Amino acid sequence: MKPSLILAALLTGTTLIHAAEQAKAEGPKTEQQPRPWAERPPVDPALVVEKASREPFTEANDVPLFPGLPPTAPVQRQPTPREVPPEGQVLEQRPAVNPTQPPAFPGQTRAVAVRTATPIEERVVASGLSHPWSLAFLPDGRMLVTEKSGTLRIVTPQGAVSAPVGNVPPVLFAGDCGLLAVLVDTDFATNRLIYLSFVGYRPKGHALMVVRGRLSDDDGAIEGITQLLTLPAHTGINHYAGGMVLGHDGTLYLGTSEWISDETRIAAQLPASPMGKILRINRDGSIPHDNPYVNVSGAEPRVWSIGHRDPEGLTLDPKTGGLWISDHGPQGGDEIDRVEPGHNYGWPLVAYGKRYDGGLLGGGRTQFPGTEQPAYYWDPAIAPAGITFYTGERVPEWQGNLFVSALGGRHLARLVLVDGKVTGEERLLLSHNQRVRDVKQAPDGTLWVLTDDADGRLIRLAPRG
C-alpha cells in the first residue's frame, strides 16, 4: 500500500482498520528489520497534504488546528516490581498489555537482565526542586535545571541551589505544560547562549515554543531573548513533548506531540503539520537547507521525521551523530527510535499495546508499509522521558549504553546495545521509588538524574570510593 493511500484513508474518514485490511489484501509481507541508513528510501512527495499556509507561527495565523480535547481516560499502569530477576533471565516478567502482538524481530523487547558489576553510589545531591524537567551542564560543571512551574535554577555539583534565574518567559503550568527542556550552546564559553522549550500563552490558547537567550555574566537573568519557534495554539493541556538536543552540525532538534485525542492524533502522519514530529531548525531559528521536506510543496519545512506520539527524550549517538529518541506509547508500546530524516515512525497507523480504554489502535497492527519499527519497546509501559548515551571513563562497562528515564516505571533503565540492537536491560534507582524525569552525563563521567516530584531530587551516580 502506497504512503499516499495511507494518507488518503485518513483524510477521507476511512478507518485505520479498513486501511489495514486493504494492506493485508495486497499480499503478504516479510517481517520488518531495522534498515541500514544507506538503504532508506527518499522522501515520498505523495505524503504531502496541501494547506492554506505553511507558516502557522505568526499571530495572524495563531489558531488551533483542531477543536479542544475531550476528557481522557485515566492511565492505568502496572507497578514496576522493585525486585528484578537474576541476571540472564528476561527482565520484564509482567504480562504484556496486548500479548497477541509479537515483536517484529528478536531482541526488540523484553531483553535479558544485566547487572552493573562496578559498585555504584546513588547519592541525592539536592532535593526540594519543584517538578524538575530537564538539566544541562555548564562548562564549569554546574547545572541548569528547569522546574516545570516556570523556574530556571543553577545547581552546583555540591548541591547548592540558586535563586530563580530572572527573565524566564511566562509558562502555562498544567498537565504536560510548563517550562520543559534546557540546552547549553556548544559555544557557551564565548557566547553564553542557552535554549528553552516551554508551553507559553498565545492569544487563542497556548503553544509549545522555543527561545534562545544569553545567560548574564552574573548568572542572574536571561538577556536578549529571541523566539526561535512557536507551534500552533491549542486549548488542551496534554501531550506537548518539548524534548530538545543540539546536533553536531549547528542545528537544533525538537520533539512535538499530537495533543493525544482521536481528533488530533492523525496530525502525526501529515507532513503539513508540525505536530507529532521531530523538527529541525538552525540555532538562529532559520530552516536548514537539507531538511527532507524543504522542497516538497505544502509540507512544513522544519519537519525532520513524522509519525511520533509524544517524544520527550532526544539524544545523539556518540559514534555516528545520529538522532535517537524516546516516545511515549499508549498502554504499552513505549519505544526507543533511531530517527532518520524523512522517515515515518508509524503513529497512529501502528502501535504496540492498547488504547487507554482498552481498544486497539490501527486495527491492532504493529507493522505497516512505509513505516519504521522501534529499535526497542516496552509492554507494559514505563513512560520514558530523558535519554542519554554514556561515553565516560568512570564506569567502563557502561560505555555505549543508552540510559532511559522512566516516569511510570520509577527507575532508570540501562540498555546495552550491540550493533544498534538491545541485548540487555538493567533497572537502576529502584530503591528511590521516584518518577525519573531526566538523565545527563557530566563532564567528569558521572551520571546525574532528576526525579519528577513536588520535592524533586537531583541524584548522582558514580563508582563507590
The DSSP result for 280-344, as a single string, is EEETTSPPPTT-TTTTSTTS-TTEEEE--S---EEEE-TTT--EEEEE--SBS-EEEEEE-TT-B
**pTM here?**
0.86
CB 427 within 8 A of CB 112: no
d(CA 261, CA 127): 35
User: At residue 76, what are phi and psi to the nearest 5 degrees?
Assistant: -110, 115
Helices marked H in 16-174: 16-25
d(CA 323, CA 333): 20
List per-residue pLDDT tens for the chain, 465 residues long.
334 334 434 443 333 334 334 433 433 333 333 333 333 334 444 333 333 222 333 333 333 333 333 333 444 556 777 678 888 899 999 999 989 999 999 999 999 999 999 999 999 999 999 999 999 999 999 999 999 999 999 999 999 999 999 999 999 999 999 999 999 999 999 999 999 999 999 988 999 999 999 999 999 999 999 999 999 999 999 999 999 999 999 999 999 999 888 888 999 999 999 999 999 999 999 999 999 999 999 999 999 999 999 999 999 999 999 999 999 999 899 999 999 999 999 999 999 988 888 888 888 899 999 999 999 999 999 999 999 999 999 999 999 999 999 999 999 999 999 999 999 999 999 999 999 999 999 999 999 999 999 999 999 999 998
289 is an active site residue:
no
Was domain 90-463 assigned CATH 3.40.50.300? no
Q: Exactly one of 131, 239, 308, 328 is catalytic; which is it?
A: 239
CB 328 within 8 A of CB 374: no
